[in-house]
Amino acid sequence: MRLPSDAPRSVSPLRAVSRSLNLSLGLVLILIFFGAALVSLIWTPYDVAALDIPNKLKPPGWPHLMGTDHFGRDVFSMILVGARTSIAVAVVAVGIGMGLGVPLGLTAAARPGSFLDELIMRGNDLVFAFPALLIAIMITAVFGPGAVNAILAIGIFNIPVFARLSRGAALSLWTRDFVLSARVAGKGALRISYEHILPNILNLLIVQGTIQFSLGILAEAGLSYVGLGAQPPIPSWGRMLAESQTMISFAPHLALFPGLAIVLTVLGLNLMGDGLRDLLDPKIRRER
Amino acid sequence: MALLSINHLTLSIHGTPILRDVSMSLQPGKVLGVIGESGSGKSMTANAVMRLLPNGAACTGQIVLEERDLLDLGETRMNTLRGRDIGMIFQEPMTALNPVQTIGDQVAETILIHKAASKADALRIARETLNRVGLPEKTFPMSRYPHELSGGQRQRVVIAMAIALRPRLLIADEPTTALDVTTQAQILRLLKRLVQEDGMGLILSTHDLAVVSDMADDIVIMKRGEVVEEGPAATLYRQMKHPYTKALFAASGHVPDRAPAAESAQTPLLEVRNVVRDYSLPRTRLFRAPGHFRAVDDVSFAIRRGESLGLVGESGCGKSTLTRALLGLETVQGGEILFDGKPMVENGRVVPGIRRKMQVVFQDPYGSFNPRHKVARLITEPYHLLPDPPKGAERDRAIAEALESVDMPAAAADKYIHEFSGGQRQRIAIARALIIRPELIILDEAVSALDVSVRAQVLDLLSDLSARLGLTYLFISHDLSVVRAITDRVLVMKSGRIVEHGATEAVFKAPRHDYTKTLIDAAPRLPDVARERTAG
């Protein structure tokens, strides 16, 4: 017997369209972005490390689609390779966050209120207390700037996000009868977490993953902008923006293209995250 | 003239027909009982009167409340009627109240929304209304929050909200389904009194025939969106023209055929000796040891092999805690549990060989399965207890056998759980318990969430299985009629203690403890005339 007040929450046609629009627009943007990264692995119009001073600061046109920078490097090629850098940083950082955060959250949820739970969650609070960029600056101050350290810094910031999320979702699942019957079947906390809890929180994790992915790209761009990310000659969108700063009055295309790349990618990821959340949520409701 | 008349109401949602040609009418000061199982459309009918219908719903017909057709009114006009002329009481008192508002504010809100009084007057009316529903000022000041009240008290607050403006029509949709029997009896008495005092009409919809039997003046029986039989309660119980009505009554008082367990002098299969389970309360003072709440207090009993033992008690009596202790999911602070004469727990762990012989079926057919696994994987979960679980063809055979033993097709193994109805899910839950051939099955409110006709089938299945496989049951329930139908002996539990035990029939016929008497008196009963008719 369902409560009648549940009923009027069904979706209007307009909302259904905008939902699928979000998702498809997001997907298109992300596919372009991933495509660019893939293409850059085998082919770029020009070598991004080769200097060509005579052709410096060319406006967008032919053969340099997006123009050239103050060293005569092809901006289009740099954008392509920059996508690769961003993806690599964000994927590994989200990977670190999920890989450590989710097990920590599930462990804490398996013994709520225990010393271990307190230890994990207070540790999370500690990491949460520092802004991501601050952690990144601390790490790079100690270990020196570079893509690897940027990845580590962003990854560490992701751990408590996933730990919190998975602990909260897992806690409510632990009270469900199917977990109880798994315990009656003699299964231990580890096995229940893996077999019963994880599959049921996966949709939440996927949605949070896309959002953290876009935050990771932003963080990488921010770190590179202040010179703590990927080091030259590896192209990075954030550093391209930083270098264009002094030339913005006579070569605006140098700021425009990396800026657009960052905005569109983050927009695409956020749209996809929203769309996925809408897509996955009613499924949870239906299955209850 | 009628207070409310519903004429030829037909309702569809996104083209799916929900109600077909439903007609009923209600006089002021009378109670109309709407009876139906889940999916019968009784809630939808109530919602249609309130015009609280989901998007995409299309209605034809008439809903006339005092000469006004509600279906013609706009949303703004409807808002002025809701709460003022029509009050509504929901099934689940736990979620019907806003947890962050005091009960006084929530009752006064209805009055203020309809601008019926100033703030001070509204609070005064709220206070009076709370007094009327049996929440006196002394013990229940208006500054109380919902979480400080029990389920029955919350339902009283919900009723106060519904009647604050003395509506002419009150709709109660399964108002007592979530409550204990004694609380249910009190709430029903309260509703009856309010109807008489205010002269309002009450629509009481429920799946429980016994609940309406001494409440309703007229009864409507619904099935799959249609009215199958209607009439004054007295004549309807005597005549029962429609076969569905008869089936419903028969199922409601259904007693499965079963042979009583043979007396034997063997070691009891399960023996519980002086078990105590304490929960520590949160520390209130820094330097004082935290207090304890004793959920299970010195409980002892034994179950013989092949017997079916009932455990009866209201919510909060400790029966769920006891169940979990028996399953070894909670550690006990005192006493011991012996299975077949051997201690069940050794060194803080349940002996694996014993755990294999005990399985459990839970109440909620929707929550007891992982929605992401297929049935084959779900029902083989207890195989984890076997050192050498069957594999390949042998496993498939065991799955098919378990499913067939609960009258489910073997093909069900490849489906997900959401493809099954509540009754089918409960069968699958029984199959999961059976697959490792346990000796004892604990049925924790296993049929409480099911419709009466499905419940009768599951009870038949259980008694058949126990005869065929020699199973022993511990049947935990708050539903006395079910316990009476399926158990040999019964324990009555209250506040963590066993207050009465004995042979089921003897306890029901001649209860000795006062609490047992209260329980049995409070349980709603079908009128004798209906029982005689279906028994023959």
Q: Tell if the CB–CB gap between A176 and B95 is shorter than 8 Å.
A: no
> For A153-173, what is each residue's pLDDT tens digit?
888 889 999 999 999 999 989
CA distance B127 to chain A (A): 27
pLDDT of residue B288: 72
Residue A166 lies in a domain: yes
Shortest CA distance from B36: residue in chain A: A1
Full domain range(s) for residue A271 = 28-41+66-287
CA B105, distance to chain mean position in Å, is 30
d(CA A139, CA A152): 8
d(CA B480, CA B314): 11
Residue A162 lies in a domain: yes
* B434-448 average pLDDT score: 89
ipTM score assigned to the predicted complex: 0.74
Type of residue numbered B98:
N
pLDDT of residue B262: 65
Q: Tell if the CB–CB gap between B350 and A186 is shorter than 8 Å.
A: yes
Per-residue pLDDT band for B202 (boundaries 50, 70, 90) equals: very high
CA A88, distance to chain mean position in Å, is 10
Candidates B324, B384, B421, B434: best to mutate against A (most CBs of A within 10 A) is B384
The answer to pTM > 0.95 is: no
Calculate the alpha carbon distances from B371 to A182, B312, B374, B406, B419 in Å.
Answer: 14, 31, 8, 21, 10
Contacts of B385 in chain A (CB under 8 A): 185-186
CA distance B366 to chain A (A): 7
d(CA B418, CA B33): 32
**For B381, which of A2, A181, A200 is closest by C-beta distance?**
A181
Shortest CA distance from B349: residue in chain A: A186
Q: Residue A269's domain is classified under what CATH number?
A: 1.10.3720.10
Contacts of B56 in chain A (CB under 8 A): 10
Nearest alpha-carbon partner for A181 in B402, B341, B446, B399:
B446
Residue A146 lies in a domain: yes
d(CA B535, CA B253): 9
* B344-350 average pLDDT score: 80
Neighbours of B64 (CB within 10 A): 18
Question: B345 at the A interface (CB within 8 A)?
Answer: no
CA distance B53 to chain A (A): 6
Residue A20 lies in a domain: no
pLDDT of residue A9: 42
Q: Tell if the CB–CB gap between A186 and B54 is shorter than 8 Å.
A: no
Contacts of B387 in chain A (CB under 8 A): none
What's the length of chain B?
A: 536
Neighbours of B401 (CB within 10 A): 13
Candidates A184, A194, A201, A280: best to mutate against B (most CBs of B within 10 A) is A184
Residue A255 lies in a domain: yes
Question: B421 at the A interface (CB within 8 A)?
Answer: no
What is the bridge-based pairing of β-strands B226-232 and B218-223?
Answer: antiparallel
d(CA B492, CA B144): 32
Residue A130 lies in a domain: yes
**Chain A: which residues have CB within 8 Å of chain B?**
1-5, 7-8, 10, 12, 176-178, 180-187, 191, 195-196, 199-200, 286-288
Most confident of A11-15, B137-141, B261-265, B507-511: B507-511
Beta strand spans in B304-426 (E): 308-312, 334-339, 342-343, 345-346, 349-350, 358-361
CA distance B508 to chain A (A): 30
CA distance A123 to chain B (A): 24
**For B91, which of A3, A7, A200 is closest by C-beta distance?**
A3
**Ordered DSSP codes for A134-194:** HHHHHHHHHH-SSHHHHHHHHHHHHHHHHHHHHHHHHHHHHTSHHHHHHHHTT--HHHHII
> For A62-94, what is each residue's pLDDT tens digit?
787 787 887 778 888 888 988 888 888 889 999
Q: Tell if the CB–CB gap between B53 and A8 is shorter than 8 Å.
A: yes
The CB-based long-range contact list for A122-127 (8 Å cut-off, 24+ gap) reads: A124/A159, A124/A160, A124/A163, A124/A164, A125/A160, A127/A156, A127/A157, A127/A159, A127/A160
Of B506 and A11, the one with more pLDDT: B506
pLDDT of residue B443: 92
Residue A46 lies in a domain: no
Q: How many domains does chain A have?
A: 1
Question: B260 at the A interface (CB within 8 A)?
Answer: no
d(CA B212, CA A33): 65
d(CA B328, CA B439): 16
Contacts of A288 in chain B (CB under 8 A): 366
